[in-house]
Structure 1
Amino acid sequence: MDNTEHPYSALTPDTVLDAIEAKGFRCDGRIFPLNSYENRVYQIGIEDEQPLIAKFYRPNRWSEAQIREEQAFSFELAEQEWPVVTPSKDSNGESLHSFGDFHFALFERKGGHAPELDNLENLKVLGRCMGRLHAVGIEKPFAHRPGIDVQSYAIDSYRFLLDNNFIPAELETAYRTLAEDLIERLQQSFAEVKYEPIRLHGDCHPGNILWRDMGDTDNAPHFVDFDDCRMGPAVQDIWMLLSGERHQQQAQLEAILSGYRQFCFFDARELRLIEPLRTLRLMNYAAWLARRWNDPAFPQNFPWFNTERYWSEHILTLREQLAALQEPPLEILN
C-alpha cells in the first residue's frame, strides 16, 4: 500500500504544531517524536513554558465514546489520588480535542524510568498501586470499551494472519494446527475459571510505569498510557510484572500481592489465567504487527517482522506456550 494512503500521512509536523497552537499555546518549533507506534506522541516545545506531551490517537481505532471513557477512567483514578498521568483540561474542562481528522490530548511532561522489577520492595509498592487501581475499577463497568477475550485476541488474530497470507506457505500447516490447539485450550481455560471482569489498565508492562526515586522509603511510580484499558480479570494487570524462572515469579507474585491485598481482594483462581493471558498477548501481538504493516513506522521499527525466521520463532514460542498451559499455576503461599 502506498504510504500516502495511510491515515497518519496527513499528520505532518506543521499539522501537529497547528493543532497545539489552535488550543492557545505558542509553540517554539521544537517537536520531538516519542516512542509510540499505535498512536503518535510528541514532546512539543512551548515558548516560556515547560514542554507539553501531545498524543494523537490513531484514526478509526477507538470511537470518540471509547476515548472519552478511557480519559474518564484516568480522571476517576486521579480523584482518588492514584498516581496516573491524566490529560490536561482546557478552560472549558475539555480533555479531548479535534483537529482535522485527528483526535488528540495534551499531557504534562513527567520524568521517570522503568521500575526495577528484581527489587521486591518495588514490587510491593506496585502491588499497592494495583490494589488501589482495581478497588476503583470494580466500582462500575466500562460501557463502551471492549473486554479481553479469546475471540478478539486469539481467534480473530489467527484468522487475520491466515486470510491475509502472512504465514509462509511452508509453515502454514504447522501454524494452523498449533493455533487451533491453543484456541481450544484457551477456551477451556477461560470457561473453567469463573471471574468477575473489572476495569483494568490492560497493558501494564514496565514501559508504561514511570518510576521516580524520591528517597530510600518514598518511591513514586506514575502510570501512563491507558490506551488499552479494558474489562478483564484482575490478574491481567499483575502477570506482566512477573519474569524469570518459576521460583522467581513465585517470589515476585508474593511481593505484589502483599501490597495488593491491603486495598483489594484477589481471587486466587485467576492465577490459572496467567499463561492463557500470556498466550493471548503473543497471538494478538503478531496480528497487531500484521494489521499495522502498511503504516511506514512499522517496517522501519520492526524490520525483523514478517520474515520466515520470525514466523518460525513465533511458532516455536507458541509451542512452548502450549506446554506452559499444561503446567500447574503459580500459588499464593502466604
Structure 2
Amino acid sequence: MIEFEQVEKRYGEEAIAVHPFDLTIEDNQFICVIGTSGSGKTTLVRMINRMIEPSKGIIKINGQDVTKLNEDELRRKIGYVIQNIGLFPHMTIRDNIMIVPKLLKWSEEKKAGIAERLIQRVDLPLEFLERKPKNLSGGQQQRIGVIRALAASQDIILMDEPFGALDPITRDALQEMIKGLQQEMKKTIVFVTHDMDEAIKLADKIIIMDHGELVQYDEVETILEHPANDFVEELIGKRKRNSYYNNEMTVADLMVKRVEAISISKSITDAIRQMSEKKVDTLLVVDDQRCLKGFVDINFIERNISKLKPASSVFEVMGKDTASVNQNDRVADVIEPLINHTFKYLPVVDDEDHLVGIVTRSSLVSLVQEQLQ
C-alpha cells in the first residue's frame, strides 16, 4: 500500500508543483496518472521513490515513511521504467535485466534462471540475452526495460510514459503485455501517461492532475460517467465521450493515421533499416499506389534470417493474409473480430484499397466494448 498524507511539492514560496493532497493506492492495482504537461503527474510519481523529495507531508509504503529509508535501498525495491528505456548500451541484455539483483548482491543460485524466465514472458527468444541493446528494435528494447523492472521481484513498479515514443501497433502490443504481467504477477503499477485512451485501457483507477491539483481519483467507469469538473470532461474529450455511447461511429473516428509502411519492391535490408530507424516491429506492405498488400514483421525475419539473402524482396517474405477494414465501416461491425480473434490491430483502407491508417484493439475496446455488446 502506498499512502500520501498532505504531501506537497514546491520550489520556493510561489512555485507550487503539487498542492497538498491525500491519496491511498491499494496493493496489486494498476493506477494511471494523467494530466496536461506541467500538471504535476511526474512529480507525484517520482516522490514515491524519492527521486524528488516532497516539501511537506508523509509518503508511506506498507506503513513505513519513505524518508526514513536509505534512498538507494528504497529505489532498488521499486521498479522504474521510463520513455527512453535507459538500457546500458555496453551491457548485454542479460546484464541489463540483472543489474538490480547484482546491486543487491544476490547469490548466483538466487539469480539463476531469472533472465531466461522473464524474457520468455515477453515473447522474446532466449538468444536475445547475449545481444546488445542496439541490436533490438525500439519495441523489443522497451520490453526489456519492463522486465528489468521486475527482475528483483519488486512489488511496486513506477512507469513514466514508457510507451509514448512507440508506434501505435507496438504500443498496443506492449499495453496488453504490461497489463497481463501486472495481473499475473500481482504488482502495484503507477503509470504516468498523457493519453486518456491508454489510461482507460490499463487502469483500475485513474489519478487526474491539473496545475498541481489532484482533481479526481476514481475507477475508470466513474470518471467516464461522472467527471469531477470541466477539466476532466475536456480531458476525456466531449466527442470521444459522446462516441462512447454512439453505435453509429465509424472506423475513421478512431483510426490512427500514422502508420509505418514499406513498398513491396523494397529489400529485406531496407525493411530492417526502416524498422530500426522508426523503432517498430512490424511494417505494412503497400504497392506504388499505396494499396495494401500484406505485412512483414521482425520476428519472422529473425526466425528465417539464415535462409534469407540481403537482396531478397519484401514480397518474398511478407504475410499476405492481412485482414483490413474500410474507413467507413461502423465500429459496431468491426469490434467483434478484434475481441474474438487474434488480431491486435487492423489496417484501414479507403474504397480504392489505399492504406489510410490502422485501428488497434485498445482504441476500440477501451471506448465502445460495453456499449456494443
Instruction: Give TM-score scaled by structure 1 length.
Output: 0.29
Higher relative contact order (CA 8 A, sep 6+): 1
Higher strand share: 2
Compute the TM-score of the two structures, normalised by the length of structure 2.
0.27
Structure label with greater radius of gyration: 2
